[in-house]
Amino acid sequence: MQSEQNELVTRIGPGTACGALMRRYWQPVALLDEFDPRFDPHVAARPVKPVRLLGESLVLFRDGAGRFGLIERACPHRGADLAFGRCEEGGLRCPFHGWKFAVDGTCLETPAEPLGSTLCQRVRQRSYPVQEKAGVLFAWLGPDGVAAPSLPSFDCFVAPASHSFAFKGLWHCNWLQAFEVGIDPAHPSFLHRYLQDASMADDEAYGRQFRAASVGEADGERWPMTRVMREFHRPEIRFEALAEGLLRLTTLRPMTDELTHVRVTQAMFPATFVIPLSETITITQMHVPVDDTHTYWYSFFTSFAGPLDKEAMRAQRLACVRLPDYVPLQGRHNDWGFNAEEQQTRTYLGMGEDDINLHDQWAVESMGEIQDRTREHLATSDKVIMANRRTLLKAIETVRAGGRPPLALDAQAAAALTGPDTIDCIAPAERWNEFWVDAAAAKRSGAAWLHAAASAASVAAAEAAR
């Protein structure tokens, strides 16, 4: 990749071409947990959080009526920091001269001005719409005059709160290299390799992603994913577009003449992947540019079987980060916890067995803040990364020319975009294609909430048709 092109696809601040593209999508800006006094006692009295998103400094707050507002952080009067504002019934008040702003940026009061002053009517703080979905607050930073798209009807957004859990973490690197790990189906055989298999407890403990069993059997035996990944490390990677910007990745690992391992994952433009965590749980992960050199991943866990033990999932993950910013305790400052002895005896990487997220963190952060793509050598196993970069470059041009980029969906298209399927399974070699489709369908049929959502959607469609 040319240096200019690398700049083009990585810079996302105001006024940049890629920033304009990323502003065409709803972006996660905080977990709802961050406004829950159980996890952050400060927000009980003062629900105000400074946030960075797409290179902009903003303040996210909740007013007395429970509405969320996302406004520019610098006060429009003389620029004092509204992150220190007084959170009041109807809005956020700057402590410097008392100017007060509603969640939509309306200036409500300028109390130092002469009685009868109409200055308020001429001042407006920049503000962005916020919506809550699946335990995450999403913001729309799109330009004036462009309608916000709708989020797709993906399982992660349809599942009830009992069956979904969201968490996030900060990575010290550019958004694109963070996303590119998730569309690289070859790396689990190496980066996440365990030299021995542990028990195949089918739980959702943190980091056990490749320790669960694959669906299906080999010679009457169930295999842990770790063993499949380790023993069959030369995958055949296929992909196809289910819609513009939605790629289904099928990764085949032929095991014997009779058996093939099939892993189906999805890549949703511009920065989301959907992967199986276990037989019954899916992870949808979004990569949100904080600025050019920081990225939040937001993961949505969706259960197609019973309710999730959210308290346990949260506690496991909170043990690995520092609040309030969800900064990992391990990182470049301590070599990501690298242990050379472990690398020789227990894991391929040597950064622990419990938290595979840390393995990915090392991969994306160790490249440097912005990967120098002029020096890389892309290989056959990078074919999805190449396809995604082509889509990205084209989408930047589309937005530049005033068009609508892939998956910036209108309400009707968003309602129609459901799923998407993911699976890990050991399939009969000659009919792996039907096998995984059946296995994915069986997973979906286990989700009672999915049937309820489907019948609600058909009732709504019937009513609309009347």
Where on the chain is the footprint of Fe ion (CB under 5 A)? 360
Answer with the entry of Fe ion, ligand FES, none that 42 interacts with (C-beta below 5 to 8 A by kind): none
Residue with tokens 């096998």: 435
List 130's β-bridge partners, or say none.
Answer: 139
Q: Which CB, 82 or 425, lies closer to ligand FES?
A: 82
Nearer to Fe ion, 34 or 360 (CB): 360
Q: Which is nearer to Fe ion, 363 or 395 (CB)?
A: 363
As measured in angstroms, the least distance from the Cβ of 125 to ligand FES is 10
CB of 93 to ligand FES, least distance (A): 8
Q: How far is the CB of 96 from ligand FES (least distance, A)?
A: 4
CB-wise, 80 or 241, nearer to ligand FES?
A: 80
Q: Which CB sits closer to ligand FES, 39 or 96?
A: 96
Long-range contacts of residues 352-358, Cβ cutoff 8 Å, at least 24 apart: 352/207, 353/194, 353/198, 353/207, 354/206, 354/207, 355/206, 355/207, 355/320, 356/192, 356/207, 356/209, 356/210, 357/169, 357/206, 357/207, 357/320, 358/207, 358/320, 358/328, 358/330
Residues sharing a CB contact under 8 Å with residue 265, sequence separation 6 or more, in sequence order: 185, 248, 249, 251, 273, 274, 275, 276, 422
Contact of residue 233 among ligand FES, Fe ion, none (CB under 5-8 Å per partner type): none
Distance, in Å, from the CA atom of 442 to the CA atom of 299, rounded to the nearest integer, reads: 24
In the complex with Fe ion, the residue whose CB is nearer, 127 or 284, is: 284
What the block records as the tokens of 139 is 């913001």
Residue 94 binding target from Fe ion, ligand FES, none, CB below 5 to 8 Å by type = ligand FES
- Give least dist CB 301 to ligand FES, A: 41
* Rounded distance between C-alpha atoms, residue 263 and residue 245, angstroms: 20
Q: How far apart are CA 92 and CA 110, in angstroms?
A: 12
Neighbouring residues of 145: CB distance < 8 A, sequence distance ≥ 6? none
Q: Which does 360 bind (CB under 5 to 8 A by kind): Fe ion, ligand FES, none?
A: Fe ion
CB 77 to ligand FES: min, Å: 3
Min dist CB 58 to ligand FES, Å, is 16
User: In whole angstroms, how far apart are CA 34 and each of 82, 87, 237, 326?
Assistant: 18, 16, 39, 10
Partner that binds at residue 78, options Fe ion, ligand FES, none, CB closer than 5 to 8 Å by kind: ligand FES
C-beta of 63 vs 360, nearer to Fe ion: 360
Q: Least separation, in Å, of the C-beta of 185 and Fe ion?
A: 10
Contact positions toward ligand FES, by CB under 6 A? 75, 77-78, 80, 94, 96-97, 99
Distance of alpha carbon 152 from alpha carbon 2, whole angstroms: 34
Q: Which does 46 bind (CB under 5 to 8 A by kind): ligand FES, Fe ion, none?
A: none
Q: Are 70 and 60 in contact (CB under 8 A)?
A: yes
Residue least distant from Fe ion (Cβ): 360
